[in-house]
Amino acid sequence: MKIELGAQNCLYPMPTTHVGATVEGRPNFLTIAHVGIMDLGSVSLGMAKAHYTNAGIKESGTFSINLPSTEMVQETDYCGLVSGRRVDKAELFSVFYGNLKTAPMINECPINMECKLKKVVDFPKHDIFIGEIVATYAEEAVLTDGVVDYSKVQPFFFTMPDKGYWNLGERFAQAWSVGKALAKK
Amino acid sequence: MKIELGAQNCLYPMPTTHVGATVEGRPNFLTIAHVGIMDLGSVSLGMAKAHYTNAGIKESGTFSINLPSTEMVQETDYCGLVSGRRVDKAELFSVFYGNLKTAPMINECPINMECKLKKVVDFPKHDIFIGEIVATYAEEAVLTDGVVDYSKVQPFFFTMPDKGYWNLGERFAQAWSVGKALAKK
């Protein structure tokens, strides 16, 4: 039986990320799981306007998305609890820069993407930042035959209804393939 | 050591969904993992313009997002392999409607969200549909004390680099909590 829950966002679990930006001249990181994929080259961030980081993304026109692994859960949660206005969160990590020079990335995160801001969609209390990926970096240890292997990345997910962090299970089927059997019926 | 992979989208794993819409007067479902969260009330879909479903979403101004469970992987993959232009994919499911009347939903999916189209962001080869959630339905069996329990939903994820489907692991930490220990240091 279906239960109506009201207008509740249940599009979870979503990957937990660190968004990096230069704010007031310094690297800052913020935990964001309200992310999205627009097309193969573009991603989105849904960020409450109250965040310290938003002005930095608008000013530099750049940001990074960093995927932490489960062993970084404490640091990741912390970066969502405290504001860069008061705390230097970059001190927690080894920071590096790529081509854009103003999108700080976290060396400890196995996957990093540098993005150029392409568009801001204005929501009542949120800036939706749409960015084009310009370069991606992966820790060599998370690649299998040169391809990103998420069983090695060990990303984790956020669920809003119960405020949980979840790890990744197993790869149990091949996409664009397992459904072919139905097409033959 | 970091390896540069070029401008590769690695913002995965993303939840695999069935998007429902009325197209040419009939219910149709499409598999989409390029989804996003804008704010608590709004979601996005990144859908290639070539899809049959896009015109239906624009015409009715509504769509649904349905979360399949792992046991539906074959049907889900199939709905991404074949076009509604040629195949009646709604035949695979028991379809129901809610308040909007034109956003078909899949009864077999444990979570369903009805959405009103609020904005289309035009990308070169994709329509980015931004929708407001107007009602959410959950199978009673996936709730724990009235809250959606993703260990019961058993959603699954898509990864582009290796074209894989992955199941959900365990809830291993409490969000907005596990990081508090660092704040005290």
Which CATH number characterizes residue A41's domain? 2.30.110.10
pTM attached to this predicted model: 0.97
| Position A163 in a domain | yes
| Cβ contact, residue pair A171, B162, below 8 Å | yes
- Cβ contacts below 8 Å, chain A against chain B, sum to 338
Report which DSSP code applies to B7: S
Q: Of B138, B165, B167, which has the smallest distance from its Cβ to A2's Cβ?
A: B138
- Report pLDDT digits (tens) over A102-119: 999 999 999 999 999 999
Question: Is B165 domain-assigned?
Answer: yes
The yes-or-no verdict on residue B184 having pLDDT over 80 is no
Mean pLDDT to the nearest integer, B73-80: 97
Q: Which of A66, A47, A67, A69 is nearest to A58 (CA)?
A: A47
Q: Minimal Cα–Cα distance from B184 to chain A, Å? A: 10
Query: For residues A26 and A86, what is the distance between their CA atoms, to the nearest angstrom?
Result: 13
Residue at B8 is within a domain = no
For testing contact with chain A, the best of B9, B129, B149 (most A CBs within 10 A) = B9
CB B155 within 8 A of CB B68: yes
Strands A156-159, A164-174: pairing kind: antiparallel
- Domain annotation covers residue B64: yes
From the list A98, A147, A159, which residue is nearest B150 (CB)?
A: A159
pLDDT at B183: 82
- A50 to chain B, any CB pair closer than 8 A? The answer is no
- pLDDT > 70: percent of chain B: 99
Bridge partners of residue B117, in order along the sequence: B131
Res. B185 pLDDT band, cuts 50 70 90: low
In the prediction, which pLDDT does A183 show?
A: 82
Which of A37, A113, A171 to probe by mutation at the B interface, max B CB count within 10 Å?
A37
Q: Is residue B92 included in any domain, yes or no?
A: yes
Q: How confident is the model at residue A73 (pLDDT cuts 50, 70, 90)?
A: very high
Average pLDDT over residues A19-45: 98
Q: Does the residue A5 lie in any domain? A: no
Residues 115-144 of B with CB under 8 A from A: 119, 121, 123-126, 128, 130, 132-140, 143
Chain A: closest CA distance from residue B100 (Å): 13
pLDDT score for A10: 98
- Would A48 be classed as within a structural domain? yes
Is residue A77 within a helix (H) or strand (E), and if so which, with residue range?
helix A73-81
Shortest Cα distance, chain B CAs vs residue A25, angstroms: 24
The tally of domains found in chain B comes to 1
Q: Is A1's CB within 8 Å of B140's CB?
A: yes
Residue A121 pLDDT grade (very low, low, confident, very high; cuts 50, 70, 90): very high
CA–CA distance, A134 with A103 (Å, rounded to integer) = 11
What mean pLDDT do residues B69-97 have?
A: 96
pLDDT of residue A148 exceeding 70, the answer is yes
Q: How confident is the model at residue B144 (pLDDT cuts 50, 70, 90)?
A: very high
Report chain B's mean pLDDT, rounded to a whole number: 97
| Average pLDDT of the segment spanning B114-143 | 98
Say whether pLDDT at A184 is over 80.
Answer: no
Q: What is the mean pLDDT of residues A73-77?
A: 98
Q: What average pLDDT score do residues A115-140 get?
A: 98
In a domain, A1, yes or no: no
User: Does B136 contact A8 at a Cβ distance shorter than 8 Å?
Assistant: yes
Q: Which of B4, B10, B116 to probe the A interface (max A CBs under 10 A)?
A: B10
Identify the domain containing residue A146 by its residue range.
14-184
